[in-house]
Amino acid sequence: MGTTTIGLLIALGVLLVVLFWLIGIYNGLVRLRNEVKNAWSQIDVQLKRRHDLIPNLVETVKGYAGHEKGTLEAVVAARSRAVGAQGISNQVVAEGELSQALGRLMMLVESYPDLKANQNFLALQEELSSTENRIGFARQHYNDSVMTYNTRIQSFPPNVVAGMFNFTESPFFELEQPAERAVPQVKF
């Protein structure tokens, strides 16, 4: 009788310890998954920021190089495609095209010294190159978070908890072709 009670108590104690341990692992996984979600929304914020900058940029360039219609229209068209893109893969492609169009616009600017001296344009240029950096850093942080999260899900004790509560691996944000990786080379 006495030994059974003690045995039961020990079993109960062990069970409690295991339970708390599992709760700890579960909470850790939730924290990591939320960090991945936040990191993804940060990329969206920065892409939106770039979309918002472009109309202003196009207007400023028009004032000095209005006859370069083709390049300007390409940027505007690429922007509206990027804004309307649905689904991650389409979005990645559209944003890549927008980056290329912007790169061509910035190359063209090189031959307009007046434009390059315009204060408004210089400010926009700093904003644009900073936004490109931000997109890069947001992507980097997202991939870092995904890596930590995925490693945790795959490693031994957490993978049991992850299996029970349906934690699935997150995809990395990779640009499919190296050409699309090219961000506009903004020259100062």
Residue 52 within binding range of other proteins, rule CB under 8 A: no
60 lies in the site for other proteins, by CB under 8 A: no
Task: Look up tokens 């910035």; give the residue.
Answer: 106
Pick the closer one to other proteins by CB: 81 or 141: 141
The stretch among 16-24, 56-64, 68-76, 138-146 that binds other proteins (CB under 8 A) is 138-146
CA 38 to chain centre: 9
CA dist., res. 97 & res. 150, Å (int): 30
Binding window for other proteins (CB under 8 A); candidates: 51-59, 64-72, 87-95, 136-144: 136-144
Measured between alpha carbons, how far is 12 from 6 in angstroms, rounded to an integer? 10
- R_g (Cα) of the chain, nearest Å: 25
Smallest gap, in angstroms, from Cβ of residue 58 to other proteins? 20
Could you please report the per-residue DSSP string of 87-112? SHHHHHHHHHHHHHHHHHHHHHHTT-
Residues forming contacts to other proteins in the complex (CB under 8 A) are 35, 38-39, 42, 46, 123, 126-127, 130, 133-134, 137-138, 140-141, 144-145, 147-148, 151-152, 185-188
